[in-house]
Amino acid sequence: MKLAMVLMLVALPVYCSAGSGCSYLERVISDTSDSSVTADVYLASLQEYISSDDTTQAIKELRECFLKQSEETLENFSVFMQVTYNSKLCAAF
């Protein structure tokens, strides 16, 4: 399952850097930390990356890790992601 989480976290930035823009990645990150998005909707948005029940379980566990955090932590995570993707180092890739 750890491998599936790592692959998911690697696949999304690669998809983003392929010239399609980062709107998809931003939406996934936003949905991951948004408790108002149901689990079914969240899984449906990632369906093209889900190839097995183990991957589905790993994605559910990853999201649960985010939802167990405080609102302050989730807000800080969102700020961190914005800083990361708007940085000059990220633009170099």
The single-letter DSSP state of residue 70 is -
Question: b/e string for 16-55 if b means 16 or more Cβ within 10 A?
Answer: beeeeebeebeebbebbbbeebeeeebeeebeeebeeeeb
Does the pLDDT at position 45 exceed 60? yes
Q: What is the pLDDT of residue 78?
A: 80
**11-32 pLDDT tens trace:** 666 555 544 456 777 788 888 8
Domain ranges of the chain: 2-91
pLDDT averaged over every residue in the chain: 77
Does the pLDDT at position 85 exceed 60? yes
The CA–CA distances, whole Å, from 50 to 27, 44, 46, 54, 75 equal 17, 9, 7, 9, 27
CA distance 86 to 37: 25
Highest mean pLDDT among 15-19, 28-32, 52-56, 78-82: 52-56
